[in-house]
């Protein structure tokens, strides 16, 4: 993660009263595809959860948290219901703990 940034994970839950073409039309007409994410932010991952929607994780300088929120409010609402979560990458911690567990097992320690 870049120094001086936070990670925000955004759930973009599909409005299931609309089909995909209707959702996409809203996103294009409101400028979502052109303006998201705001300049100065970085997309870390963008995943589709089939039957639910999309999950986007951004790296964001703290001063751009509000513009990220405002972009979603102005350009994604109507197509998605949204949830925001401050997040961090646990994968390096998991990998360290897995390695430690393997070493413990080799030494005859707890599993």
At 4-27, the pLDDT tens digits run 899 999 999 999 999 999 999 999
Buried b (16+ CB within 10 A) or exposed e, 30-61: bebeeebbbeebeebeeeeeeeebebbbbbbe
What pLDDT shows up at residue 107?
86
Q: Is there a domain that residue 111 lies in?
A: no
CATH value at residue 65:
3.30.70.120
Residue 95 has pLDDT above 60, yes or no: yes
Q: Is there a domain that residue 38 lies in?
A: yes
Domain count, the chain: 1
Q: Is there a domain that residue 1 lies in?
A: no
- Domain of 34 in residue numbering reads as 6-106
Window from 20-29, 58-67, 84-93 with minimum mean pLDDT: 84-93
């Amino acid at each position: 993660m870049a120094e001086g940034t936070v990670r925000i994970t955004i759930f973009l839950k599909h409005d299931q009263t609309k089909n995909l073409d209707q959702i996409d039309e809203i996103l294009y007409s409101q400028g979502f595809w052109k303006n998201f994410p705001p300049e100065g932010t970085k997309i870390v991952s963008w995943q589709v959860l089939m039957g639910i929607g999309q999950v986007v994780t951004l790296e964001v300088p703290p001063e751009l948290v509000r513009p990220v929120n405002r972009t979603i409010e102005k350009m994604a609402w109507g197509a998605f219901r949204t949830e925001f979560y401050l997040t961090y990458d646990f994968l390096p911690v998991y990998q360290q703990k897995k390695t430690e567990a393997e070493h413990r097992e080799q030494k005859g320690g707890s599993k």
